[in-house]
Structure 1
Amino acid sequence: MASFHSRSSNSNGNHPASSFSLLLLFLLLASASVSASETVPKAMSQPATGNFDGGPVVPTTPLVTFLERVQEIALATFGKKDFDPKLYVDLSLKSGLSTTVTAFHKLPRNASESVSAPDFKEFLHEYFDGAGDDLVYAEPPDFVPEPDGFLPKVKNPQVRAWALEVHALWKNLSRRVSGSVLDRLEFHTLLLLPGPIVIPSSRFREVYYWDSYWVISQPPILSAMVYDIYNRTGDFDFVKKALPALLKEHQFWNSRIHKVNVQDDQGGNHTLSRYYAMWNKPRPESSTIDKAHSSKLLNASDKENTSDFTTLAITSILPIDLNIFILKMELDIASMAQIVGDNRTAESFLKTAQARKQAINSVFWNEEKGQWLDYWISNGTSSQECRRWKASNQNNNAFASNFVPIWIDLFNSDTCIVEKVRKGFQSSGLLGAAGIATSLTRSGEQCNYVAYKETGAMHEKYDVEKCRDIGGGGEYIPQTGFSWSNGAVLAFLEEFGWPEDLKIGCNWVMHCGDEL
């Protein structure tokens, strides 16, 4: 299993401290299989404009509903300290559901509905297998300790040794679904997958769609995965097979409920996209947490989002990062449609991409700050109604996601814009001594060689203000493993390398006054 690599930047720079593109790539980090027919259907030759909202969401299974109840009793029994609700929906049954439910209802409870810890632990042991037991280790057949051509730009021996250790972590994180899941699907909440997978960590013990790209980031980047695979393999048939799925994903993100119309101050009308999940129930893996936050957050839509939890009502925002991902999708689809000879679709998606680029600059761009700012909208307005653009609706807070447009050629090829963004980023306050912050809020949420050397692990979160410190915050204990950190480090080293004479450690840090 060769290390993942990125094509996100056109920079040829070799010195990590002097590359503005390297810094901006960090911003992308802070911040279900789809079946496809073999040919591109003619009916899908146009970008989506119709209603893709569908009917009501299919309710969760009886097993998931029951495990949410187990989760609630576990919280009442064990208390909030270090409580992780996901553990309980990852449990698999030893006996049938009806037998287990009957035993659950027979547990003696006190007035607060909690069960004594010994009784509850005995119940869990008798009726459930452990969380994660439905996955087993899978030896990656194509893994080699040092792939041919591995990180040719990395000249520093210490950095190279570290990179090889990080590369070896892919092997440690390789899994396959146990045969027991196939034998009794109704005993498990894990979806059956036919092949081996790479999991992010011990807690995230399943494969996520968005983790497949560098084992990092979040949707919608399926088109970027397909396009990168094609550029590495030249597999025409793969593109032909994947294109219908990409068209379907584009249709989803441009459906009626996700689509928002805005009229700019010059009278131009624009269509952009927002997060809006068709689900108003708690997430099963975090049911207890979501119920506590239900009056503040629309959590299902929040988890479509690319960032960790904030206090934002996500459906009331037009996010710049989402619209850049969709713009990239439109450009990718246009390119791949041309590859398979579907010129009609290619031309149509190029026009759609140009329209979205204009919308992005009209609605999100802030000339004074040199950033693209998220835009507040009112949830009381119909999704079909055209909203008038107001400067006061731009979110003036500094977020790493404000700089995501530089990721794609339509923006990073404009030297004038790049210079404005460079100055805007340098004055944003996001650049810390040990990395780039997600925002200026000190939440403890959201790569660090020194932390790896001191802990022996790659971490999910890092403290960008203090070299060698790991991060905290969020809904669970910060994880090690950690696939998206591993993929990011290897992608940066592949793209930018590391000179032999440049030391690595806390003696090399960026400061807010340093020249980018």
Structure 2
Amino acid sequence: MLRRAIMACVALCLAGATAPPDSPAERYGPLFEAVQSARLFDDSKTFADAIPRESPDAIVAAYRADPPRDVAQLRAFVARHFILPDEARPPRADTLAEHIRSLWPQLTRPPHSVTPAGSEIALPAPYVVPGGRFREIYYWDSYFTMLGLKADGRADLVESMLDDFESLIARYGRIPNGTRTYYLSRSQPPFYALMVALSDSDSPRLMARRLKGLRAEHDFWMAGAACLDTSGRCARVVRMPDGSLLNRYWDDKATPRDESWAEDVETARKSGRPLPETYRDLRAGAESGWDFSSRWLADGTNLTTIRTSAIVPVDLNSLLWILERSIAARCRAAGDETCATRYEGLAARRRAAIGRYLWNATDGWFGDWDHAAQRLTPILSAATLYPLFAGIATPDQANRIASVVRADLLGPGGLRTTRTDSGQQWDAPNGWAPLQWIAVAGLRRYRHNALAADIATRWIATVDRNWKATGKILEKYDVEQQRPGGGGEYPLQDGFGWTNGVTRALMACYPPSNDSEQRPAAPADCSLSYH
């Protein structure tokens, strides 16, 4: 009883000043379940994003009064009562850089209030969406999008997106996965401190407001420390064997995700595990941004073995170390020595725990800790480069990781996500834009400039080659064959915010030459936006 009471208290604390609105699954109940079970749309997210033409209560009442008798009637019912999302197509440009610049207006959305009955969350300032099915702002995507916006001189959008994230923290006590009601129960990799570092503003009032937001985000991730019991795990906090605290991915709900409802129901049914346990691990995998990867799978291949909540990830803890260091520095600049000392201490303890538990000294790479098994997992992934990106690694560790990356993760078209070909989209042979940036910036930090340039030039060439062939910039690529990526639970998306951002920022550091292949020339003297 006491633990349930504590968990309820933690949930209320995490909810912030504003109670989260109902998600579409909660709002439409049996109608939502019927639409998703019937697979009415190729993408489960389509109906989750639909805008009601009338009040939800009226729609549910109409559904209960005269339930559709077959799929055709159900489709007609949805068409009568909902407006479905659609997408605009950008014009074709002459060069990849011009195409990326032309995409920013296409992907920019104005500040808006939204239909109260819809799933979208209002934002006060303009923002950039990823594109395709991703019609709203996403948390960690936005940092990598902002890199390209800065390279293209769009500091105005960087500042306005920061305003939006501050608004979300003020309302909900966190930055959610994305601006849909069904995303409010989870966050994503905490890049807010790095976003703030991209700002050119030196306004004391603005800096004070952002420091408050940074501290609120840290409180969100560490709230579980108040309810740790003998299991050593509560919410997003994990007690390690020596008593130090690290973090894991989590979700405050244990139900199917609205945007992937049918897929989650099927996975949980096949898992043979308690349904809420599987749903929670699927949701936690979505909070990681790596949805899904062998990193989270007990057998390394089968999604039904997902166990995200048992894993202490190296990327998350590296980002939280950056957050703690950022808070300490900003507190010191504001003259608050007590705050600065506190967060410096938290960062020092986290760094020591990362070195103690997440470093694989035998094989020479950083990895993820299996809290249930009390050992590192066997999965080598591109997340091993996060401690280099953060500046946590020692020079010797960085040297060993560089050797492993060149031998095991470097593909013809860029950096592989893992060595495992599981069929999941965050595994080989796929490469993803954010991981290219983390790798290039981290390797350059430790003076592995040749390997950084190799990854960057291979990636730019892959994006350029596919853009010339299709006119599209894609969410992910197969870096083995330098073609569109595959895997995952939804069709391949184009747009695409973070690919645009990372590719444009890398092109600023590794400018293309004028030959027909548009291969990048020698690296420019550029900043990679170290925090």
TM-score, normalised to structure 2, is 0.69
C-alpha distance in structure 1 between counterparts of 2:11 and 2:23, whole Å = 25
Stretches of 4+ aligned residues off by more than 6 angstroms: 55-59
1:482 to 496, 503, 507: 496
C-alpha change, 1:285 and 1:69, in structure 2 (3 Å) is farther
Residue-by-residue CA offset, 1:428-473 (whole Å, 9 max, x unaligned) = x222111222112222624421011111011001101102x10122
* Alignment check: 8 A CA contact 2:512 2:518 kept: no
C-alpha distance in structure 1 between counterparts of 2:414 and 2:66, whole Å = 50
SS of equivalent residue, structure 2 residue 109: strand
Cα drift, residue 52 of structure 1 = 4.6
* Alignment check: 8 A CA contact 1:201 1:481 kept: yes
Larger-Rg structure: 1
Cα drift, residue 222 of structure 1 = 0.9
* Contiguous gaps of at least 5 residues in structure 2: 1-8, 147-176, 178-187, 226-233, 269-274, 298-305, 431-458, 521-531
SS of equivalent residue, structure 2 residue 255: coil
C-alpha change, 1:249 and 1:470, in structure 2 (3 Å) is same
Residue-by-residue CA offset, 1:231-281 (whole Å, 9 max, x unaligned) = x33333221111111111112212222222223xxxx54221112222112
* Contiguous gaps of at least 5 residues in structure 1: 1-50, 138-145, 147-157, 379-388, 507-516
C-alpha change, 1:234 and 1:500, in structure 2 (3 Å) is farther
1:73 has 2:28 as partner: no
C-alpha change, 1:53 and 1:128, in structure 2 (3 Å) is closer
Cα drift, residue 186 of structure 1 = 3.2
1:365 has 2:359 as partner: yes
TM-score, normalised to structure 1, is 0.71
State the partner residue of 2:284: 301
C-alpha distance in structure 2 between counterparts of 1:124 and 1:107, whole Å = 13
SS of equivalent residue, structure 2 residue 246: strand
State the partner residue of 1:206: 136
State the partner residue of 2:207: 239
2:395 to 398, 415, 425: 415
Residue-by-residue CA offset, 1:123-176 (whole Å, 9 max, x unaligned) = 22221122269xx99xxxxxxxx9xxxxxxxxxxx9xx3212212211111123
State the partner residue of 2:244: 270
Counterpart code for 1:270: S
SS of equivalent residue, structure 1 residue 462: strand
SS of equivalent residue, structure 2 residue 33: helix
* Alignment check: 8 A CA contact 1:370 1:425 kept: no
* Alignment check: 8 A CA contact 2:367 2:376 kept: yes
Counterpart code for 2:353: A
- Identify which range, 163-172 or 302-311, moves more after superposition: 302-311
State the partner residue of 1:34: none
SS of equivalent residue, structure 1 residue 304: helix
1:129 has 2:59 as partner: no
Residue-by-residue CA offset, 1:282-341 (whole Å, 9 max, x unaligned) = 222222222222344522222211312133311101111110010011111111112222
State the partner residue of 2:193: 223
1:169 has 2:103 as partner: yes
C-alpha distance in structure 2 between counterparts of 1:59 and 1:290, whole Å = 22
Q: Calculate the aligned-residue CA RMSD, in Å.
A: 3.1
* Alignment check: 8 A CA contact 2:251 2:287 kept: yes
C-alpha distance in structure 2 between counterparts of 1:169 and 1:301, whole Å = 31
1:345 to 339, 343, 347: 339
C-alpha change, 1:482 and 1:203, in structure 2 (3 Å) is same
C-alpha distance in structure 2 between counterparts of 1:56 and 1:223, whole Å = 19
Kindly indicate which of the two structures has a greater share of residues assigned to helix: 2
State the partner residue of 2:485: 471
C-alpha change, 1:132 and 1:196, in structure 2 (3 Å) is farther
C-alpha distance in structure 2 between counterparts of 1:454 and 1:236, whole Å = 48
Percent sequence identity over aligned pairs = 26
State the partner residue of 1:405: 387
C-alpha distance in structure 2 between counterparts of 1:62 and 1:409, whole Å = 39
Higher relative contact order (CA 8 A, sep 6+): 1
Counterpart code for 1:214: F
C-alpha distance in structure 1 between counterparts of 2:210 and 2:348, whole Å = 23
Cα drift, residue 499 of structure 1 = 5.0
1:75-224 to 2 correspondences below 5 Å: 75-77=36-38, 83-107=42-66, 109=68, 115-117=70-72, 119-131=73-85, 161-176=95-110, 181=114, 185-215=115-145, 218-224=188-194
